[in-house]
């Protein structure tokens, strides 16, 4: 990933039926297709959190895909926080806490 003038970072919280439906794998694959860095993880409250960095247009495409999710998911809400680009990640992974 490179730093461009359009580089950004977002934190996305997805709620609904998003655990136990391969949502994290879906998010990781979509992020990798878009060349994003970051991570995705399940939260104890039943939501999924994704933190991603890259070009803003690719981040917006990623968020649009998270709003739909994989087959079996029922996305109820997607909250997005935009943050400054930090170039913290070299790839996109699933993390386990």
Active site residue 41: no
Residue of 9, 42, 47, 58 marked active site: 42
End-to-end CA distance of the chain: 25
Residue of 3, 17, 24, 56 marked active site: 24
Mean pLDDT of the chain: 94
Active site residue 58: no
Model confidence over 5-41: pLDDT tens digits?
A: 789 999 999 999 999 999 999 999 999 999 999 999 9
- Token reading at 51: 């933190």
Query: Looking at residues 60-73, what average pLDDT do you find?
Result: 97
């Amino acid at each position: 990933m490179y730093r461009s003038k359009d580089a950004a970072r977002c934190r996305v919280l997805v709620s609904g039926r998003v655990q136990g439906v391969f949502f994290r794998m879906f998010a990781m694959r979509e992020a990798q297709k878009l060349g994003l860095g970051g991570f995705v993880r399940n939260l104890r409250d039943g939501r999924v959190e994704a933190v991603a960095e890259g070009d803003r247009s690719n981040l917006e495409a990623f968020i649009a895909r998270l709003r739909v999710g994989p087959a079996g998911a029922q996305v109820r809400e997607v909250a997005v926080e935009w943050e400054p680009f930090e170039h913290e990640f070299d790839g996109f992974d699933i993390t386990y806490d």
